[in-house]
Chains A and B, each alone.
Chain A
């Protein structure tokens, strides 16, 4: 069973180049497949591709669904969710 979580983009500029780059770098450290979609769009994209993440055009406040599937899915989900919640305190990352 893949894991799913709902998160919100808190970076004022949205999921732009720098946070996208961090997300992709983190995702690619895991073996699991990490997918992402806008809550209003049923199609998932590969969170390991910077272009796909940029094409989500996720502005601040956009709700996103994260789906992780694979042997290290719990750790991967924790790492990705941590990136999104990091932004709650500092506006630098997400």
Chain B
């Protein structure tokens, strides 16, 4: 094929980051080999023959998958080979066999058509299932059906042999098909469909194959053999990358590999200080594509999910209850301990979506955070309903942003109680729901003791706390010198909050990037903070920092620091401990 300067220009596509890593290769398109099955009426004497054909096909498919599983186990170990168990069992399943047989007998149809009908009716009964994870098991049933039809029609599914480094493009790739590919030359996977919780995504992650799902445009435009880059950490697909772009992504790949090597080795180590004090590392999450990285970076839990990120900025309305519930459920199930802190919508007048936007002279001091949320009771109730329903898949800490008065906490508690009653939530479910205040406004710092008494937990938002305490916008260059997380006023504020949490024995989590700087991590440790929630990428670094520090040193330093006058002096004092 001759190259065409018009179609060979670099193109970027964005999709769902399903499996992390960066891969380079040539586009290899997976063309579905299985034609739609033929519909044939069979004569009565053929009925038993058709049933025999199905049984033989099921046996053959099962033997084949057992072989794939054996091979897969040798490649990636027992860890994920179990993922193939359900398919093998389905091929021996009485319900499936019976459904196919019944179709052949009742409708006098050929085996292929009977499989198609049986699978369709089984899929229909999955339509009523609310649970997001279980509902995705539809793919598994489809997988088995396609495999059987392939065998019956003499075109068993076979994966392409990849002779050169390749990026596999497929409208849809079924889990068992991916397990069958020789991963040696498989450097990436791009599909039109699929979610991060599908078995295909799990298998891609366990094989370490970068994958981006849901990029239909890339599939339309990719031609066999074109150069391609897949960045499964950021959900990007690039066709015909220019040399400069290739260099950028080679750099990303090297950085990822380094992170994986260092970070993953750190991620497996416990988060304890040099003198043996255990800390908790949690992940801040904004978008769903970050979810797969949470566990990989060594996070124990999701410490902050900023729920307003599920609302697109040009949306004319907020997502409905079901959409929200599915999003929260995905967050809870992706959290390693199936507990997630979900912060209720934190809008200010200038960040409200689309048509709901209002004009205020000073949004940072206006109707924002929990104030806006409580002023829109139907929004608050819908969100709480979605959260309560999602809590069926784990535990949720509901976090109220920008609290300034205890009455806000009380009003939210009343709403939560009302919603639980409406939904008929039993005690079991209620116990999985906690309510807490985010301490980021100066007023909240001074009433932290009262807030702690009536909260189930507390979180500090370091970014906003620093801005509000020092009354300076971090985006304003003229006052950027005031971004001083070690300012005596900030440390005194943090100290008040930590004492309030300790006296009431309520868990306190520090959310924000402040802890990413080793000198700040040292200060926070000295103040008594043990739970840190940061973006997943910053966690391995924080863990190595914590493992080098000692709480005894940190406490000694803090005793001095609280008496010092300037951020500069405090930092200099810290350095005397940190320099060897």
Contact = CB atoms under 8 A, between A and B. Distances in A.
Interface in A1-57: 12-14, 16-18, 20-22, 24-25, 46, 48-52, 54-55, 57
Interface stretch (B83-91, B288-296, B305-313): B83-91
Given A49-B94, A61-B392, A16 B137 contact: yes
A61 B391 CA distance: 11
A59 interface: yes
Contacts of B85: 17-18, 21-22, 25
A20 B131 contact: no
Contacts of A57: 129-131, 134
Given A50-B86, A51-B141, A16 B95 contact: no
A21 B92 CA distance: 12
Given A14-B133, A17-B137, A24-B89, A59 B393 contact: yes
A37 B122 CA distance: 18
B316 to A, nearest CB: 33
Contact of B133 (A16, A21, A50, A61): A16
A51 B133 contact: no
Given A16-B134, A18-B86, A60 B96 contact: no
Given A12-B333, A21-B89, A24-B89, A54 B134 contact: yes
B376 interface: no
A50 B90 contact: yes
Contacts of A17: 83, 85-86, 137, 140, 199
B338 interface: yes
A44 B19 CA distance: 39
Contacts of A13: 133, 333, 393
Contacts of B133: 13-14, 16
Nearest to A22: B85
B134 A50 contact: no
Interface in B20-58: none
Nearest to B329: A59
A59 B134 CA distance: 8
B125 interface: yes
Interface in A33-92: 46, 48-52, 54-55, 57, 59-61, 91
Contacts of A12: 333, 338, 393-394
B8 to A, nearest CB: 42
Interface string B90-108: 1001111000000000000
Counting chain B CB atoms within 10 Å of each CB, the highest count among A20, A24, A51, A55 belongs to: A51
Contacts of B141: 51
Nearest to B128: A57
Interface string B326-364: 000000010000100000000000000000000000000
Contacts of A25: 85, 89
Contacts of A50: 86, 89-90, 93
Interface residues of B, number: 29
A59 B392 contact: yes
A2 to B, nearest CB: 19
Contacts of A21: 82, 85-86, 89
A49 B95 contact: yes
Contact of B393 (A14, A20, A22, A48): A14
A51 B122 contact: yes
A24 B199 CA distance: 19
Contacts of B429: 61
Nearest to B429: A61
A39 B489 CA distance: 57
Contacts of B131: 14, 57, 59
B129 A48 contact: no
A51 B123 CA distance: 11
Nearest to A46: B94
B428 interface: yes
A18 B83 contact: yes
B137 A54 contact: yes
Contacts of B130: 57
Nearest to B88: A21
Contact of A20 (B86, B122, B333, B394): B86
Interface in B371-428: 392-394, 428
Contacts of A91: 338
Contacts of A24: 89
A16 B393 CA distance: 12
A61 B389 CA distance: 13
A21 B131 CA distance: 18
Contacts of B333: 12-13
Nearest to B82: A18
B393 A60 contact: yes
A60 B93 contact: no
Counting chain B CB atoms within 10 Å of each CB, the highest count among A21, A22, A24, A52 belongs to: A21
Interface string B155-175: 000000000000000000000
A19 to B, nearest CB: 10
A57 B113 CA distance: 27
B363 to A, nearest CB: 39
B393 A51 contact: no
A25 B93 CA distance: 11
Given A21-B89, A60-B338, A60-B392, 13 more contacts: A12-B338, A14-B131, A17-B137, A24-B89, A25-B85, A25-B89, A48-B94, A49-B93, A49-B95, A57-B134, A59-B134, A59-B392, A61-B392
Interface of B: 82-83, 85-86, 89-90, 93-96, 122, 125-126, 129-131, 133-134, 137, 140-141, 199, 333, 338, 392-394, 428-429
20 contacts: A12-B338, A14-B133, A16-B133, A16-B137, A17-B86, A17-B140, A17-B199, A18-B83, A18-B85, A21-B82, A22-B85, A49-B94, A50-B89, A50-B93, A51-B95, A54-B137, A55-B129, A57-B130, A57-B134, A61-B429
Task: For the complex of A and B, list the 10 residue pairs with the smallest distance between their C-beta atoms, beginning with the closest.
Answer: A12-B338, A21-B85, A17-B86, A50-B89, A57-B129, A51-B95, A49-B95, A21-B86, A59-B131, A57-B134
